[in-house]
Structures are given as C-alpha cells and as structure tokens.
Structure 1
Amino acid sequence: MKYAQIDSNLFVKNRRKFMAQMKPKSIAVFNSNDIYPIGADSTLPFEQDRDIFYLSGADQEETILLLFPDAMDPKHREILFVRETNDHIAVWEGAKLTKEKATEVSGIETVYWLTEFDKIFFDLMTEADTIYFNTNEHYRQAVETQTREARFIEKCKKEYPAHQWAKSNPILQNIRGVKEPEEIELMETACDITEKGFRRILEFVKPGVWEHEIEAEFLHEFVRNRSRGFAYPPIIAAGNNANVLHYLENNKEVKDGDMILLDLAAEYANYSSDMTRTIPVNGKFTDRQKQVYSAVLRVKNEATKMLVPGTIWAEFHKEVGKLMTSELIGLGLLDKADVQNENPDWPAYKKYFMHGTSHHIGLNTHDYGELKKPMKANMVFTVEPGIYIPAEGMGVRLEDDVVIQEKGEPFNLMRNIPIEIEEIEELMNK
C-alpha cells in the first residue's frame, strides 16, 4: 500500500464499539472483497471491503474477520484469517500479510491461515446462538454482482439453519457515521492531497487544454503524495458538460469564456475526500458567472452553518431549498409565481438544483451513517449546492467536507482549498 501504516489502536476501538452492540452468544463475520475479472487473465485493481478494513485494517484479499465476544476460549474472541503466503507468492505478487504482520496491523492476537476457517468456524458455531451477516444496506446501493460476503451468507444459511440470524449493518451505520480522531486526521490528509492537485491545475488550465489533460495533472499530484488516486470517478466538465451531473467522459477541449466544473478528490488509506470547484477557463469570471458563482457560495456557507448536533438530514435539505429559492429569484431564474405554483413534491428550485446538499463521507465517498436520527458531533458531511443553467451553457457546484463539532460551526477539512473568486483569479493569472 502507498499509505503509511495506520496505528492499530483505531481498529481496536472500532471492534470494541461493534462488539458492545452484539447480542449475547453471537458471532459476526466479515469478508474481504473479491478480485474482479475483466477478461482473459486481467483483473481490476483490488479494493478492500470497507467494513472489514474499518474493523481490522487488513487491506488484503482472501481475508476474514470473526468476532465472538462470548467465546469460551478468550483467544477466539477476535480472529483474523488471512491467505497463507509463501516464497512463490512473494515473487509473483509481492509480500502478503504474515501472521505477525497481521497482528501488528490489526491489533488482533489470534491469526490463522484462511484454510483453517471452516474447521474453526464450525467449532465456534457450536457455542453460538446467533450469526451476524454483513449485508449492504446503504440507501444508494445497487449491487448486481454476487459478492464474497453474499456467497458466505448463502453457504452459512444452508449449513447452520438452526442458528438465529442478525444484521451487522445497523451497528455499522451507527458507529461508522461518527468518526474517531484518527479517521478525521486521515480524511484531512486526503483533503490536503486534493488541495495540492487543485493548486497545480490552477496554473495549468487555459483555453485549448483538454479535460483529460486536467485529469492527468490531478492524478499525477495525487499519486506522488501517496494516494492511490481518485476517491471516485472524476468529473471534469467544461461549459455545458457541467449540466450533466455525472459527466465522466472528460474528453472535450476547454473553451475560452467557459467555466469548468471539477468534482474530484483524492483518497488516502481508503478514506475519501470529496471536492467540487468551478473555475473560469481563461482565469477571469464574467459578470454573470460571478453572479451565479456567488449565489452558490452563499448557499454553501449558510448550509454549512446548519450542520450542528441535533439537525435532521431531511429537514436540513428543506431549509437549504429555501435558501436556494431566494438566490434563484435574485438571479432572475425564478419568480414569485413559480414558487407559489410549485409542486410540493418537486419544488421550483429543483429545476436548477436537482440533487441533495449533503451526505456522509468517510471510508466510502457516500459513507455509512444514520440519516433519520439527529446529527452528532464528529460526523463528517459534504456540503455541495449547485446551480445548473443549460440555456446559458453553465453549471456551478461548490463542495467542501466538514466535521460537525460539539459546539459552534463545523470544522472545514477543505478550508485551505481556494474557493473565493478573487483568490482563484489571482492564482490562475499569477
């Protein structure tokens, strides 16, 4: 891995939080992701399942974590199973976790080879009443592939039909949403790497460059700072491309007089950052561009202030909608009649701002975290309003990542990334 090794105390704390919410005499199992094939002998680069990483720090394929707080043998209350390595594997694939290294990374004393899992699992299941299955219940999930986790659940239900089943996901939603200080520090590192990439392209962008060239400049800066690369597929959308919310082609030449919407950010140690900035191709905003940009920035700043303990996510979005409605009227895009006659299920402002304002961020860009309960301190949210005007060939979105504080306004992890009009123009023209 490119990143510096994480202190295992983080994973020790995470496991304690999870196990504290488990039922008596219950086992929880977490599987690593598969390596997914492309065709012939090619595969996608491996990315670890975020749940097993959150609980163990093990960033390797063919890994299983087992938690059994009530195991009769104390050494079996936390077990990590890893793929057995050898000299042949080391030559062809590189170093894999030894038992000693697995303990160092995870803080788990009991480590077995993966080939021993079935035997040990059977023995422990004779002591247990309940098995926790780790299903993906994120509100935006749309998984069609059968995962390693899904295969395990299917097999386990057949072989242990008399056991009770429980879900890991509600516990993970609860504990993953509130970040530990070490997690916030890792996310801030990702944001700092993102800042370096953004400052690099402010000097690079000019009329005639291509969207994919901008992508390459970011990737260069990210990787040289120990990031694996982009936290999510990068959006580099010049001109009217910015009105396609998930524009991913990044294959157009940027034109004088247009703006570029940049929705991209670095990951670090599997933790995401999520940034959006909108900049003028020629280094100078037009008056109209300034008007729209300033309106979005005002909404972002006011929306950020609302992210405090006790805020309800759904109500927050309604309040942001009111802010945006006022700004759109000021820009001449809506009038009072539009608002008076709006459909309550699709308010008038949605014509120009059709997506949400905030989501949890952490190990996933759209991270686990409770959304129907009041917000808590140390949750991390994005703030990302936008205004999209296809008739004028422009779209503006601005986005930062902020940490909810016990008291006062959220702490902006992207506070050092230029966002004010004057600073962006100055950096692009120096």
Structure 2
Amino acid sequence: MKYEPIDASLFVANRNKFMSRMKPKSVAVFNSNDVYPISADSTMPFQQHRDIFYLSGVDQEESILLLFPDALKEENREILFVRETNDHIAVWEGEKLSKEQGTKVSGIKNVQWLSDFEKVFFEQMTEADTIYFNTNEHYRQAVETQTREDRFIISCKEKFPAHAVAKSNPILQEIRGIKEPQEIALMQMACEITEKGFRRILQFTSPGVWEYELEAEFLHEFIRNRSKGFAYTPIIASGNNANVLHYVVNNQQCKAGDLILLDVGAEYANYSSDMTRTIPVSGKFNKRQRAVYDAVLRVKNEATKMLVPGTMWAEYHEEVGKIMTSELLGLGLLDKADVKNENKDWPAYKKYFMHGTSHHIGLDTHDYGPLKSPMKANMVFTVEPGIYIPDEGFGIRLEDDVVIQEKGEPLNLMKNIPIEAEEIESLMRDSQ
C-alpha cells in the first residue's frame, strides 16, 4: 500500500462497536471484493470492500473476516482468513500478508489461511443460531454485478437453511457514520493532498488548456503524496459543461472568459475527500460570474453553520433551500411570483440548484450514515451548494468536507483550500 500503516487499535475499536450490537449466539462474515476482469488476462485495479477494511484494516483480495462474540473458545471470537502465499505468488504478484502480518494489521490473534475457511466456518455455525449477512443497502446503490458477498450468502443459505438471518448493514450504517479520531485524521490527510492538487491547478490553468490536462495535474500531485488517486471519478467541467452534474468525459478545451468547475478529491488509505471549486480560466471572474460565485459561497457558509448535533437531514435541506431562494431572487434568476406559485414538491430554487446540499463522507465518498435520525458529533458531511445557469453558459458549485462538533460550528477539513474569489484570483495572477 502507498499509505503509512494504520494503528490496529482503530480496527479493534470498530470491531468492538459492531460486535456489541450483534444478537446473542450470532456469527457475522465479511468478504473482500472480487478482482473484476476486463478481458483476456486484464483486471481492474483492486478496491477493497470498505466494510472488511473498516473492521480489520486488511487491504488484500480473497480475505474473509468472521466475528462470533459468543464462541465457546475465546480464540474463535475473531478470525481473519487470508490467502496463503508462496514463492510463486511472491515472484509474480508480490508479497501477501503472512499470518503474523495479518495480526499486526488487524489486531486479530487468530489468523488462518483461506483454504481452511469452510471447515472452520462449519464448526462455528454449529454453535450459532443466527448469521449476519452483509448486504449493500445504501440509499444510492445501484448494483447489477453479483459480488463475492452475494455468492457467499447464496451458498450459506443452501448449507445452513435452519439458521436465522440478520443484516449487518443497519449496524454499519450506525457505527460507520460516526468517525473515530484516527479516521478523521486520515480524512484530513486526504483533504491536504487534495489541497496540494488544487494549488497546482491554480498555477497551471490558462486559456487553451484541456480539461484532461487538469485531470492529469491533479493525479500527478495525488499519487506523489501517497494517494492511489481519485476518491471518485473527477469532474473537470469548463463553460456549459458545468451544468451537467455528472460530467466526467473531461475532453474539452478551456476557453478564455469561461469558468471551470472542479469536483475532485483524493483518497488516502481508502478514505475519501470531496472538494468542489470553480475557477476562472483567464484568472479573473467577470462581474456576473463573481455575483453568482459570492451567492453560492454565502449559501455554503450559512449551510455549514447548521450542521450541529440534533439537526435533521431533511429539515436541513429545506432550510438551505430557503437561503438559496433568497440568493436567486437577489441575482434576478427568480422573482416573487416564481416563489409564490412554486410546487412544494419541487420548489422554484430547484431550477438552478437541483441536487442535495450534503451527504456523509468517509470510506466511501457517499458514505454510510443514518439520514432519518438527528446528526451527531463526529459525523462528517460535505457541504456543496451550486447555481447552474445554462442560458448564461456557466455553473458554480463550492464544496467542503466538515466534521460535526459537540459544540460550535463544524470543523472544516478543507479550511486551507482557497475558496474566496480574491484569493483564487491572486494565486492565479501570481502564476502568470
């Protein structure tokens, strides 16, 4: 891995939180992701399943975590299974985790080879009444591919039809939503790497540059700072491309006078950052662009202040909508009649700001976390309002990642990333 080793105490704490919420005499199993084929002998770069990483720190394919808090033998209450290595694998693929290394990474004393899983799992199931399956129930998921987890669930139901079934996901939604200090530190690192990339872009951007060149500059800076790369597919959207919310082709030339919307974040140790900045290709906003930019920044700043313990996610978005409505009236994009006659299910401001303001962020960019209960301290949210004006050829979005505090305003993990228009213009001017 490119990142510095993570102290195993984080994963010990995460497992304890999960196991404390399990039913009596129950087993939970977590599988690594598959290595997905492309064609011939090619595969996609491996991405570890975030849940097994969260609970074990293991960042390797073909690994399985078994948790059984009520196992009769204490050594069987946590078992990690890893792929057995040999000289051939070491030569062709590189070193894999040994049993000793598996213990060092995870804090789990009982580490066994994957080839022993079926025998050990059968023994544990003879003591258990319930099996926890790890299904993907995120509100934005749209999975069509059968996963390693899916295959395990099918097989387990066939072999153990008399066991009760429970779901791991509700527990994970609860505990992954509230970050440990070590997790916040890792996310801070991801944000600092993103900052380095953005400052590089401010020095590099000028009329005639291509969107994909900016993408390459970000990637260069990310990887040289121990990141695997982008936390999600980057959006480098110049001109009217910014009005396509998920514009990812990044293949157009940036023209003088246009704006560029940069929705980009680095990952670090599998933790995500999620930044959006909007900058002028020529290094200076025109009067109209500046007015809209400042309006978006005001909405972001006011929305950030609302992210405190006790806030309800749905009500928060309604309040942000009211602030955005006021700004759009001030910009002349809405009039009082638009607001008076609006559809309550699709308020007038949605014409120019059609997406949500915030989402959980962590190991996943759109991370686990409850959305129907009050916000709590140490939850981490994005704040990302935008105004999109196709008729005027530009869109502006600004986004930071913030940690809810027990008291006071959230901690902005991106507070050092330039966002004020004057600072952005100054940094771009100094590069010319």
TM range (shorter): over 0.9
Residues 235-314 of structure 1: matches in 2 within 5 Å?
A: 235-314=235-314
Separation of aligned partners in 2, 1:77 and 1:139: 31
Instruction: Give how far 1:171 is off.
Output: 0.3
Separation of aligned partners in 2, 1:421 and 1:114: 55
Separation of aligned partners in 1, 2:427 and 2:174: 42
Separation of aligned partners in 1, 2:217 and 2:140: 30
SS of 1:318's partner is helix
2:178 maps to 178
1:60-97 Cα shifts (integer Å, max 9, x gaps): 00000000000001000000000000010000000100
SS of 1:324's partner is helix
1:429 and 2:407 matched? no
Separation of aligned partners in 1, 2:249 and 2:15: 40
Separation of aligned partners in 2, 1:72 and 1:289: 67
1:101 and 2:104 matched? no
Separation of aligned partners in 2, 1:169 and 1:249: 33
Separation of aligned partners in 2, 1:386 and 1:414: 17
SS of 1:212's partner is helix
Instruction: Give how far 1:37 is off.
Output: 0.4
Residues 180-219 of structure 1: matches in 2 within 5 Å?
A: 180-219=180-219
Separation of aligned partners in 2, 1:294 and 1:286: 12
Separation of aligned partners in 1, 2:227 and 2:122: 40
Instruction: Give how far 1:331 is off.
Output: 0.2
SS of 1:165's partner is strand
Separation of aligned partners in 2, 1:127 and 1:6: 33
1:24 maps to 24
Instruction: Give how far 1:138 is off.
Output: 0.2
1:43 maps to 43
1:341 maps to 341
Separation of aligned partners in 2, 1:252 and 1:9: 47
The letter of the residue matching 2:125 is: M
1:319-360 Cα shifts (integer Å, max 9, x gaps): 000000000000000000000100111000000000000000
1:58 maps to 58
Instruction: Give how far 1:384 is off.
Output: 0.1
Separation of aligned partners in 2, 1:138 and 1:131: 20
Separation of aligned partners in 1, 2:251 and 2:146: 33
Instruction: Give how far 1:306 is off.
Output: 0.1
The letter of the residue matching 1:375 is: M
Instruction: Give how far 1:399 is off.
Output: 0.1
Instruction: Give how far 1:232 is off.
Output: 0.2
Unaligned runs of 5+ in 1: none
1:73 maps to 73
SS of 2:345's partner is coil
The letter of the residue matching 1:105 is: V
Instruction: Give how far 1:9 is off.
Output: 0.2
SS of 1:79's partner is strand
SS of 1:30's partner is strand
Separation of aligned partners in 2, 1:203 and 1:429: 9
The letter of the residue matching 1:109 is: K
Instruction: Give how far 1:4 is off.
Output: 0.5
1:359 and 2:344 matched? no
Separation of aligned partners in 2, 1:87 and 1:4: 26
Instruction: Give how far 1:106 is off.
Output: 0.2
1:118-168 Cα shifts (integer Å, max 9, x gaps): 000001100000000000000000000000000000000010000000000
The letter of the residue matching 2:224 is: R
Separation of aligned partners in 2, 1:63 and 1:55: 12
2:229 maps to 229
1:91 maps to 91
Instruction: Give how far 1:262 is off.
Output: 0.1
Instruction: Give how far 1:417 is off.
Output: 0.1
1:10-53 Cα shifts (integer Å, max 9, x gaps): 00000000000000000000000000000111000000000000
Separation of aligned partners in 2, 1:7 and 1:283: 43
Separation of aligned partners in 2, 1:293 and 1:53: 39
Aligned residues: 430
SS of 2:262's partner is strand
Instruction: Give how far 1:401 is off.
Output: 0.0
Separation of aligned partners in 2, 1:370 and 1:226: 31
1:413 maps to 413
Separation of aligned partners in 1, 2:346 and 2:39: 44
The letter of the residue matching 2:152 is: F
| Paired-residue identity, % | 78
1:147 and 2:170 matched? no
1:116 maps to 116
Separation of aligned partners in 2, 1:342 and 1:151: 48
SS of 2:66's partner is strand
The letter of the residue matching 1:134 is: N
Separation of aligned partners in 1, 2:320 and 2:240: 25
Instruction: Give how far 1:210 is off.
Output: 0.3
- Compute the TM-score of the two structures, normalised by the length of structure 1: 1.00
SS of 1:195's partner is helix
The letter of the residue matching 1:149 is: E
The letter of the residue matching 1:198 is: F
Separation of aligned partners in 2, 1:322 and 1:201: 34
Unaligned runs of 5+ in 2: none
Separation of aligned partners in 2, 1:102 and 1:123: 22
- Compute the TM-score of the two structures, normalised by the length of structure 2: 0.99
Instruction: Give how far 1:311 is off.
Output: 0.2
1:87-112 Cα shifts (integer Å, max 9, x gaps): 10000000100000000000000000
1:138 and 2:147 matched? no
SS of 1:248's partner is coil
Separation of aligned partners in 1, 2:369 and 2:226: 27
Residues 312-327 of structure 1: matches in 2 within 5 Å?
A: 312-327=312-327
1:370 and 2:370 matched? yes
The letter of the residue matching 1:361 is: I
The letter of the residue matching 2:43 is: T
